[in-house]
């Protein structure tokens, strides 16, 4: 599950031959392997989400005149320069390094406490300026991990490490 300031996406992993593997290795060992696999895949997703895109797209692509007016009024009211500077701006919550992972049962959760994350990286709520700049969305990270075969790679690594034990 990807959880970013209210934005949630789910993905699942299918393990073929799970019943036979459980009979051979035991439920506890297989459950441990599944937990390590889901956390490993979550780490791959986190890596995609944490990567900053290139420089901001110019000109800024606003969703509306109202959004543009609000932005400049808010910056002026706070006494901030009108141009936002990624990571060094006093309003920045450092989205990239904020992403974290944890296991929850056999599932893994990827999340951030950055309050504006959903407008930057949620597939359904991403604002035009962030899409134009090239920020990957939660769904984009899942699709990229699927194309890379991340789940299979992590599972094979976990399975391989068990065989070496």
- C-alpha 13/C-alpha 126 separation (Å) is 26
Distances in whole angstroms, Cα of residue 151 to Cα of each of 103, 117, 123, 165: 15, 25, 21, 21
Per-residue pLDDT of the chain (165 residues; tens, 9 = 90+): 555 555 456 778 888 899 999 999 999 999 999 999 999 999 999 999 999 999 999 999 999 999 999 999 999 999 999 999 998 999 999 999 999 999 999 999 999 999 999 999 999 999 999 999 999 999 999 999 999 999 999 999 998 887 665
- What is the pTM (predicted TM-score) of this model? 0.89
Q: Residue ranges per domain, the chain?
A: 2-55+99-164
- C-alpha 37/C-alpha 21 separation (Å) is 15
pLDDT of 165 reads: 59
Task: Cite the beta strand spans of the chain per DSSP E.
Answer: 2-4, 7-9, 100-104, 107-112
Closest CA to 139 of 127, 126, 150: 126
Bridge partner list, 108:
103
């Amino acid at each position: 599950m990807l959880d970013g300031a209210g934005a949630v996406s789910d993905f699942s992993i299918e393990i073929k031959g799970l019943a036979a593997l459980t009979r051979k290795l035991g439920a506890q060992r297989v459950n441990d392997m599944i937990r390590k696999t889901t956390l490993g895949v979550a780490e791959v997703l986190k890596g995609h989400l944490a990567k900053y895109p290139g420089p901001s797209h110019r000109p800024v692509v606003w969703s509306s005149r109202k959004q543009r007016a609000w932005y400049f009024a808010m910056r002026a009211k706070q006494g901030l320069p009108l141009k936002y500077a990624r990571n060094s701006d006093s309003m920045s919550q450092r989205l990239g390094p904020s992403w974290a992972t944890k296991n929850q049962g056999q599932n893994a959760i990827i999340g951030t406490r950055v309050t504006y994350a959903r407008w930057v990286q949620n597939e359904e709520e991403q604002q035009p300026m962030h899409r134009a700049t090239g920020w990957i969305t939660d769904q984009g990270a899942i699709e990229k991990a699927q194309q890379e075969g991340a789940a299979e790679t992590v599972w094979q690594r976990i399975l391989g490490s068990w065989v070496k034990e």
